Amino acid sequence: MRIIKAAVIFIIICIAAGVGFLYLAPQKATALALDVERMRSGLERKEIDLPNNLHYVYLEGGKGEPLILLHGFGANKDNFTRVARYLTPHYRVIIPDHIGFGESSHLQEADYSALTQASRIKILAQALGITKAHVGGSSMGGHISMMYAFLYPDDVKSLWLIDPGGVWTAPHSELREIINKTGKNPLMAKNEEQFTDIFKYVMEDHPFIPRPILNVMAQERIANYNLEERIFKQLSDDSAERYVKDIQTPTLIVWGDKDRVLNPAAADVLHKLMPNSQVVLMKGLGHLPMIEQPHLCAEDYLKFRDKLDKNS
């Protein structure tokens, strides 16, 4: 009985110490949490300087065929950390912060169209010794992935598009209706409260993240507000549809059926334009399936790749 009582007291002390650390040193707690998630996924943070003031910070791990994963608007490389846990045992996974986001260069007057961002990813890939790769992307990253395949068709072995942007002929999403009616963008954050609202808005099945860590994460978005505003406008004026009809790359299109940011009906638009594609609609999920249900999302991708390998 004394041993059980002592164990309970020890657990309570550990929990209290953890909570205290979280609230007294939220930045250190956030950095530790990220390090743990990356370690569990077999990822290591790296950085590289390239011509034209391109400084990339990226995550890399695993062995095998290269798989480049591209995050969405307002996000960063760690949007793919959870799902990467199931991918690094099979592939060499590279996840960069896009120029303009995360820890990579923030070039205030640069072109941030999907085509230009794709050409920058090509420069990064070449610097990492990658000639051919499988490419995947979420939201804006999906838009950029499609442009990568358009620009460099011989270099892309397959595409994994997760709720991708750039399909503007699809029925308006809830996000687009809000912007049209109010002029306000629910994906932009000027303060910590707005960032927390974004977190809830983009996911139906979001993971629990303590508020002190969310507040630390918010600082990146708040500081980047003006640049993100300009990038969002460029992306909104930049359609992928006139390019994708020429893409013959084997493609897996994934969409959360509860996505409020980009209408799930866009999946069918893309599927009709891309003859070598298939669609997976994920029930009960929002705009970020690879965060909401990383294991399930990875399973669908691994099945797609397995079938692709068998047919090659």
Three-state SS string over 1-16 comes to CHHHHHHHHHHHHHHH
Cα-Cα-Cα-Cα dihedral of 25, 105, 47, 292, to 10°? 60
CB atoms within 10 A of CB 226: 9
pLDDT value, residue 10: 36
Q: For residues 63 and 92, is the Cβ–Cβ distance under 8 A?
A: yes
- Output the tens digit of pLDDT for each of the chain's 312 residues: 545 444 434 333 433 444 554 556 768 888 888 899 999 999 999 999 999 999 999 999 999 999 999 999 999 999 999 999 999 999 999 999 999 999 999 998 899 999 999 999 999 999 999 999 999 999 999 999 999 999 999 999 999 999 999 999 999 999 999 999 999 999 999 999 999 999 899 999 888 888 898 998 899 999 999 999 999 999 988 899 999 987 899 999 999 999 999 999 999 999 999 989 999 999 999 999 999 999 999 999 999 999 998 887
Catalytic positions are 71, 139
Q: What is the dihedral of CA 184, 189, 190, 193, to 10 degrees?
A: 110
Q: How many helices (H) and strands (E) does the chain have?
A: 13, 8
- pLDDT (0 to 100) of residue 185: 95
Q: Check residue 209 and give its pLDDT.
A: 85
| Tokens 């695993």 -> residue | 62
Residue 288: what pLDDT?
98
Spatial strand order in the sheet of 44-50: 44-50, 54-61, 92-96, 66-70, 133-138, 156-162, 251-256, 277-282
Q: Considering Cα of 258, then 262, then 263, then 269, what sign does the dihedral take?
A: negative
Query: What distance in Å separates the CA atoms of residue 261 and residue 139, rounded to the nearest whole number?
Result: 9
Question: Which SS3 state, helix, strand or coil, does residue 124 take?
Answer: helix
- The tokens for 105 are 């260069």
- Amino acid at residue number 123: I
Name all domains of the chain by residue range, CATH numbers in brackets: 28-311 (3.40.50.1820)
pLDDT computed for residue 301 by the predictor = 98
HSE-CB for 274 with a 13 A CA cutoff: 29
How many Cβ atoms from other residues are within 10 Å of residue 121's Cβ? Answer: 27
Classify strands 92-96 and 54-61 as parallel, antiparallel or unpaired: antiparallel
> How far apart are alpha carbons 21 and 23 in whole angstroms?
6
pLDDT of residue 114: 96
Continuous segment of H or E residues that includes residue 153? none
Per-residue pLDDT, 246 = 77
Query: Contact at 8 Å (CB) between 98 and 114?
Result: no
pLDDT at 56: 98
**Cβ 45 vs Cβ 59: under 8 Å:** yes
Give CA–CA dist 259/266, Å, rounded.
11
Residue 283 corresponds to which amino acid?
K
- In sign, the C-alpha dihedral spanning 156, 162, 164, 169 is positive
The amino acid occupying position 37 is: E
Residue 310's pLDDT is what? 84
Q: What is residue 9's predicted lDDT score, i.e. its pLDDT? A: 40
Nearest partner of 297 among 310, 312, 282, judged by Cα: 282
Give Cβ neighbours of residue 253 (< 8 Å, ≥ 6 apart): 161, 164, 267, 270, 271, 274, 277, 278, 279, 280
pLDDT at 24: 64
